[in-house]
Structure 1
Amino acid sequence: MPHNNYPASYYAATANAKVVRQELQENKQADVCVIGAGYTGLSTALFLLEKGFSVIILEAAKVGFGASGRNGGQIVNSYSRDLDSIERSASASAAKLIGDMAFEGGRIIRERVARYGIQCDLKDGGVFAAFNQKQMHHLEAQKALWERYGYPHLELLDKQGIQRVVASESYAGGMLDKQGGHIHPLNLALGEAEAVESLGGSIFEQSPALRIEYGDAPLVHTPKGTVRARFVVVAGNAYLGNLIPELAAKSMPCGTQVVATEPLDDELANSLLPQDYCVEDCNYLLDYYRLSADKRLIYGGGVVYGARDPADIESIIRPNMLKTFPQLEKVKIDFAWTGNFLLTLSRLPQVGRLGSNIYYSQGCSGHGVTYTHVAGKVIAEALSGQAERFDALASLPHYPFPGGQRFQVPLSALGAMYYNLRDRLGF
């Protein structure tokens, strides 16, 4: 069922001017039909248009309606599982290519913002916050790992160091990524959509893909029209539904919750995060937060397996926010919303082809802001005949969830409970 409005999030309330885009109501043709107007689809379309392809994007709801317009807004490098996991899962040559891509997404975002004049409150700097010495040892290893792949922008922080960037007693230390950062995620998506259209691409909203006819020139059906294309790119992620059952069997939508406080006075806001960095902690079920452009604290976390909407989001997030910042006890929450990301069993992205001309990327596993922008570039390369990087990503294993879709939620929740207990006990 089409969605007519964005969720009642802080991002929707502060979005730049939103273009009203038409529903597809006729039969169209293009070189490429992209399914989904989130970051993966928009990034793919932009790179293809810059290479001279004609592109039509079909969006079931509105540009950035899904995770791209609801996430924590953090530019975090690498993947949900880090490069050491990829080294164990891929050949040496593929791991090298995937590792080199791990730090490319943030550069792509900054280049897009600059080239197309996108107003999305871009700020530099992100912090990984450690609760204990075990997590600090992990950060030390992560720093060495990233530096082995030629990434020199990290700085370890001891307890005094992290307290200079985060006004919280919770942490034993941390690590600053100077090339991390944060953005207004919906405004980034809206700006990228305008860039797509400025290059001649077409975006149709309220136009869900209902069926794909496979063949030499695939035909994508929507409720009131079709698109015939040389290639189809499936970029629906957690909002794809069951359009392609074999993809749904290897992934699971999960919900994460976010709140935004009332605007804080300058003194309080600047005391919480003096350098205006974004922060995520090192727990398996992690919390993440940052300041918005108008000095609200945006704080997120929590995972609901199977993507059910919690009845009271504030009751899930506020206790953790106050553990981090007890000085916010009397501060009101103005916005609370949920959004879905797509989890894979390996927590690594799934990339591949269906036949010779239907391409897909899915399963960012909560780490999608940067990865999706790289995925778009890599898919565009593959459609242009340069598939080395695409094939490297496609070589990562795509595991089905044990027990099939029926047992995805309970088994994943049990696994999460185990890791959450480990976090709480510090081992």
Structure 2
Amino acid sequence: MNPLYKNDPPGRYPPSWYAATAELAEPRPPLRGEVRADVAVVGAGYTGLSAALTLAGRGYKVVVLEAHRAGFGASGRNGGQVSSGFNKDQRWLAKRLGDDTARHLWDIADAAKALVRDYVEAHAPGARYLPGILHGEWNAAGAAEAQADAEWLRQAYGYETEFLDRDAFAAICPSPVYAGGVLDMDAGHVHPLRLVLGLARAAEAAGAVIHEHTEVTALEGTTAVTDAGRVVADHVILAGNGYLPALERDYAARVMPINSFIAATAPLGARTADVLRRDIAVADSRFVVNYFRLSEEGGLLFGGRESYAIGYPTDILTALRARMERLFPSLAGVEITHHWGGTLGITMTRLPYVRRLAPAVLAAGGFSGHGVALSLMAGRIMAEAIAGQAERFDTLSRLPVPPFPGGAAARAPLLALAMTWFSLRDRLGL
């Protein structure tokens, strides 16, 4: 079944803390009939809206088609972390792609963080960009590897982070599980839904048209077909990430939808000091990552568990609470005010899939947990390519993203088997 409709009522934002603390726009009308555009964009999340804003600002006629609401998908319900780099370290990329390409990729990712800050300042100040991500390691070997990687970045790229041993880490994040980690103050975190809603307003102000409640059911060349209309365009940008795969075969073979879940606690009061003593975000080294930060109300936004079926588990909260309480025993029994899930896109290598699927059809997805910064930048870079500046697009297109074994049909059961193994490794501390 299509993940667009499996887990959420049509056109309604999930019951998240983000939706409860954002000013939601009135629904935009669906597409009716045939319209002409320079560019049709499928998906009104970070990627699609960044592309639309960039193109409309350059005078292109842009029509954005969204099956639900702007920011309905991962863009409006994620962990809000604005990470550095990619989901592979730079040494891995340099070994496979060469030093020059790896450095160009780093520069793109570095510019992506700056783009987030620029978008927040210009279009969504309420998204409250705040600096700092702390990367936690569960054992001494992982801490030593993280320290070596931080030193490599300093020497090779001049990029400064701070390695923290167990005691220094605990002075910021007093969980008993972490053996140390790296503090990256050039990374940061935001309110993701306020950011994407601000981008939608900015894209419309620049001249783009957004149609909500408008699912694209087929592509006929560069014509986007819906149940009630069609957009005849010169170019198409596919920007649906985990909600898109069934629309295009090559994309579906390489980008798999998975689900992740977040809970929000009530304000913690004095117990805040048991969790975080600085207003930064944290992500750790588990294969199934734990990620968390404080809400502006002083509660904890905690994400952790994943699922690989299209549908959500019947009980989201029990396993999510157990992960949170393992990291922070003093939060046992704390009130949870909101919990929600969302679908993101991952790839075999956990690197973004950015490709030209046909001469005038571009796609980006599979950001694999690094989507806040990289998806916004991917949208801008696809817009640049349409405008004739393809250098950065060509660089991103070099990221290795093979198809899943067996293609779209077999990817979910095979990945579920693999994830069972990695989850066991996490539990055993390997």
Question: 2:226 corresponds to which residue?
Answer: 222
Give, in whole Å, the separation in 1 of the partners of 2:160 and 2:102: 21
User: C-alpha displacement at 1:370, in angstroms?
Assistant: 1.1
Give, in whole Å, the separation in 1 of the partners of 2:153 and 2:229: 47
**Are 1:234 and 2:238 counterparts?**
yes
**Are 1:144 and 2:159 counterparts?**
no
Question: 2:404 corresponds to which residue?
Answer: 401
**Counterparts of residues 140-179 of structure 1 (less than 5 Å):** 140-148=147-155, 150=157, 152-179=159-186
Q: Would the aligned equivalents of 1:94 and 1:393 in 2 still touch at CA under 8 Å?
A: no
Q: Find 1:41's aligned residue among 36, 39, 48.
A: 48
Give, in whole Å, the separation in 2 of the partners of 1:130 and 1:211: 44
User: C-alpha displacement at 1:110, in angstroms?
Assistant: 0.5
CA deviations over 1:249-303 (Å, ceiling 9, x no partner): 22211111111112222x3225521211110111111101111111110101112
CA deviations over 1:130-156 (Å, ceiling 9, x no partner): 111111122113213433553533111
CA deviations over 1:71-95 (Å, ceiling 9, x no partner): 1111111112222232233244432
Question: 1:32 corresponds to which residue?
Answer: 39
CA deviations over 1:151-172 (Å, ceiling 9, x no partner): 5331111112111211222211
**Are 1:293 and 2:300 counterparts?**
no
Q: Would the aligned equivalents of 2:274 and 2:330 in 1 still touch at CA under 8 Å?
A: no
Letter of the 2:390 counterpart? A
Taking only aligned residues, the RMSD between alpha carbons, in angstroms, comes to 1.7
**Counterparts of residues 128-139 of structure 1 (less than 5 Å):** 128-139=135-146
Give, in whole Å, the separation in 1 of the partners of 2:187 and 2:304: 19
Q: Would the aligned equivalents of 2:147 and 2:181 in 1 still touch at CA under 8 Å?
A: no
Letter of the 1:60 counterpart? A
Q: Find 1:322's aligned residue among 321, 325, 329.
A: 325
**Counterparts of residues 311-390 of structure 1 (less than 5 Å):** 311-390=314-393
Q: Would the aligned equivalents of 1:127 and 1:278 in 2 still touch at CA under 8 Å?
A: yes
Which stretches in structure 2 are left out of the alignment for 5+ residues?
none
**Counterparts of residues 43-62 of structure 1 (less than 5 Å):** 43-62=50-69
Give, in whole Å, the separation in 2 of the partners of 1:291 and 1:129: 16
User: C-alpha displacement at 1:241, in angstroms?
Assistant: 4.2
After TM superposition, where is structure 1 displaced by more than 6 Å over at least 4 residues in a row? none
Question: 2:129 corresponds to which residue?
Answer: 122
Q: Would the aligned equivalents of 1:99 and 1:149 in 2 still touch at CA under 8 Å?
A: no
**Counterparts of residues 274-313 of structure 1 (less than 5 Å):** 274-313=277-316
Question: 2:78 corresponds to which residue?
Answer: 71
Give, in whole Å, the separation in 1 of the partners of 2:124 and 2:251: 35
Give, in whole Å, the separation in 2 of the partners of 1:148 and 1:28: 53
Which stretches in structure 1 are left out of the alignment for 5+ residues?
none
User: C-alpha displacement at 1:68, in angstroms?
Assistant: 0.6
Give, in whole Å, the separation in 2 of the partners of 1:395 and 1:62: 32
Question: 1:256 corresponds to which residue?
Answer: 260
**Are 1:5 and 2:9 counterparts?**
no
Q: Would the aligned equivalents of 2:252 and 2:407 in 1 still touch at CA under 8 Å?
A: no
Identity %: 38
Give, in whole Å, the separation in 1 of the partners of 2:155 and 2:389: 26
Give, in whole Å, the separation in 2 of the partners of 1:85 and 1:306: 30
Change (3 A) 1:423 1:394: same
Name the SS for the 2:247 alignment partner.
Answer: coil
Change (3 A) 1:4 1:300: same
Give, in whole Å, the separation in 1 of the partners of 2:86 and 2:76: 19
Name the SS for the 1:47 alignment partner.
Answer: helix
Name the SS for the 1:249 alignment partner.
Answer: helix
Q: Choose between structure 1 and 2: higher helix proportion.
A: 2
Letter of the 2:295 counterpart? S
CA deviations over 1:20-50 (Å, ceiling 9, x no partner): 2111113222221110001111111122223
Change (3 A) 1:117 1:244: closer
**Counterparts of residues 174-213 of structure 1 (less than 5 Å):** 174-213=181-220
Q: Would the aligned equivalents of 1:270 and 1:276 in 2 still touch at CA under 8 Å?
A: no
Give, in whole Å, the separation in 2 of the partners of 1:190 and 1:127: 27
Q: Find 2:30's aligned residue among 13, 23, 47.
A: 23
Give, in whole Å, the separation in 1 of the partners of 2:331 and 2:229: 51
